[in-house]
Structure 1
């Protein structure tokens, strides 16, 4: 975890709200993608390798399924999994260990805290059931718009209730999270975990992040340091 080279954060306003992407930022999706490999009937290692290759060439992760089953319809297969008693799911155990403590500490600091990601209605209900210490849970299904659409980030800023530059968005993807958040005028923090966090790299984008992270444990401390009267 560090401040990015060449970007001191000087001139960035006081952070008042912190919103987080969900997959691979708050939730470890290892088990979930493993169950998709099982559903397709392919070895998990093979599925993971193809998944990484798709990401590395800048493709949409959903293209992975087409390699194993051409014409694969993710929405239809989600319904089939549910009907077959194998719905997509995650539990408290799938949260990254530093997620809940970080959210809780930020809330105690008086931050408005939210989750906002490309997730299904089912995932939104699961997130709500986990009783996380957040003020807002927003998903693409619930908001009717997906990242990286500017409308998604406009909705997030509206939910934050403060100027865009005072909203920090934390995510693992440069393409879906960081770049569009910066375009919307938000402050950003890139977390290096999950496939996208390790494979994708664009210094012109990452160098403009207020923070670059390897985990969430130190984020509250970093924000206190950035907001002088929070120290």
Structure 2
């Protein structure tokens, strides 16, 4: 039985457009340049921060992030960043008796921004707040502890095989891969994803019939 639905954040619940566009503007390069480089480095298995280093060799992403915050050009989220199916899907899951957790690789500030959106979730947490990030097994151990149910009663929903589907499966959770955003579309029909994901969905509303199963 699935008693808890846990969700990745970027390109699962919210669009990443604004985040990377703001980095492009800060670095004074075309937005398409950043988007294309992020796609390229992630597709070849590198951390997305490598895209910033390609644009500006020697950049310290953490220091640059802090500089943006101090300049008033830091992280921002509002309702326009949230995918249209998020509120109806999460609300329906809770109405069906399931617990909803949002937990992804985001900063401490992003956690506060997500909570300010008042999404229909029982818990919202980020890797910055937990001090551990995906794909570390410790991230999923923390998630299971927070859910307070056996791992196989949790369905983790995400778009990225290496950060979401494969480590969640290895931790004993059930998984759902969403065909959404660049990574979700890129790997939707990958044999590894097909084998590892318990469910492959095109919309979060596809999860509603799974509540209680």
Q: TM-score, normalised by structure 2?
A: 0.95
1:40 counterpart (12, 27, 33): 27
| Conservation of the 8 A alpha-carbon contact between 2:165 and 2:196 | no
Runs of 4+ off more than 3 Å: none
Aligned residue number for residue 216 of structure 1: 204
Question: 2: distance between equivalents of 1:44 and 1:31?
Answer: 10
Alignment of 1:55-134 (within 5 A): 55-134=42-121
1:190 paired with 2:177, answer yes
Return the offset for 1:159: 1.1
CA–CA separation in structure 1 for the residues paired with 2:117 and 2:164: 23
Q: Offset of 1:198 from its aligned partner?
A: 2.1
Specify which structure has the bigger relative contact order, considering alpha-carbon pairs within 8 angstroms and separated by 6 or more residues.
Answer: 1
1:148-188 per-residue CA deviation (whole Å, 9 max, x = no partner) reads 11010011111111111110000000000110000000000
Shift of 1:22: 0.5
Q: Alpha-carbon deviation of 1:202? A: 4.0
Find out whether 1:53 has 2:40 as its counterpart. Answer: yes
| 2:162 alignment counterpart | 175
2:107–2:127 Cα contact (<8 Å) kept: yes
1:11 alignment counterpart: none
Structure 1 spans left out of the alignment, 5+ residues: 1-13
Offset from partner CA, 1:92-113 (integer Å, 9 cap, x none): 1100011111111111111011
Larger radius of gyration: 1
Please tell me the root mean square deviation across aligned C-alpha atoms, in Å: 1.3
Task: Name the TM-score, length of structure 1 as normaliser.
Answer: 0.88
Q: Which residue of 2 aligns with 1:154?
A: 141
